[in-house]
Every structure is written in C-alpha cells, then in structure tokens.
Copies of this chain bind each other. A is one copy, B any other.
C-alpha cells in the first residue's frame, strides 16, 4: 500500500534536456538560469537605420544590438527594402511596411514554438502559418477620421505537426503566444517617441 502510494505520487523523473528541433535545449535552459541570476543581462536594445531612396521606397539596415552585457553584431549585414505597390502609387521595390508586421509576428510565434517544443521534449515535423491583416486605407489617405490608420484585425492560422498529441501541440502554440514579444507589442501597444533633426 505504501509502495503504491509512493508510486502514484512520485513525480515523473526530470527529463534530461537534449537538443531537438534545431534548438540547443541545454544551452537555452542554461541561458535562462544565467539571466535569472543576473537580470541586467536581459536588457536588450535593438537598433535599425533607415534611409529614404525615392518615392515611398526606403531601405533599412540592421547591424548590431546591445544585450547580454555587450554589443552584438549580426553575423552578416541585413538590409531590407520597403515600398508601396503600384496601386498605391509606389514602385513595389519591397513589401509594404504593414506586410513586414505580419512577418515579424509569424516569425516570433514560430521561434517560440520551436523553443517551447524543445523544452517540453516534443519533436516538431512541420510548422506553417498563414496570416491576414485587414486595413481600410481611408485612414492613412486622410479620407475619414473615423477609420483607424492601422490594421483593424490580424488573423493567424497555424498548421503544426509533431510527435505529441494534438492538445500538447496546441498548448505549445498557446504558450508561444503568451510569451511572444511581437504579439505583446502588436496587441498591447508601446510608447514611441519621434524626434526630428533638420
């Protein structure tokens, strides 16, 4: 009887974290512990520099960020164009700025899914998402003050396959949403200061 009780109440042995899904899970968990011990390491400043090209076309360079107590250069220089499409009198030299919001959201949620799945010992086979954002351009065109400038709604639909039951896969997506930096900013908003040097 005592043995049975012990058996039924003994917690599962702690799973030894191992790399999976391309995530170095032991290093990830060790990193979290290091930051727990020294919270100042968690303060990051991300940066970008944008230059106007012509018309609605501009280009952003993303070069280095501060974090973990140092300035970190990316391993390559990343540069991205954005533009308006012809139907909005642009030249389509890049996606629109609002399409990059969808990319930021999808990639943030997906990175979280991979990390969380690895931490939970779930091997992922496939993660795909489709995103849609509705916008009424009467806002930005200055036609109506009753229409907001930005998206009115964004819909994200994930298709996820892995070696876990459906409810466990759904819980991974949910945990990623709950801890997503981009989801947080897009749903909750953030203060933005704009200053001008002429």
Taking the full assembly, how many copies of this chain does it contain? 2
Task: Establish whether residues A49 and B141, one from each chain, have CB atoms under 8 Å apart when the complex forms.
Answer: no
Closest chain B CB from A14 CB (angstroms): 17
Task: Establish whether residues A23 and B196, one from each chain, have CB atoms under 8 Å apart when the complex forms.
Answer: no
Closest chain B CB from A17 CB (angstroms): 12
**Cα separation A101 to B46 with both chains bound (whole Å):** 10
- On chain A, the number of residues with a Cβ less than 8 Å from chain B's Cβ atoms is 134
CB < 8 Å neighbour of A181 from B139, B156, B169: B139
**Across the interface, which residues of B come within 8 angstroms of A90, CB to CB?**
111
A: which residues have CB within 8 A of B? 21-24, 27-28, 31-32, 35-36, 39, 42-58, 60, 62, 65, 67-68, 70, 72, 74-76, 78, 80, 82-92, 94-115, 124, 126-144, 147-161, 166, 169-170, 173-174, 177, 179-198
Task: Establish whether residues B194 and A177, one from each chain, have CB atoms under 8 Å apart when the complex forms.
Answer: yes
Known contacts A54-B21, A158-B197; is-contact A60 B102 (Cβ 8 Å): yes
**Across the interface, which residues of B come within 8 angstroms of A139, CB to CB?**
179, 181, 184
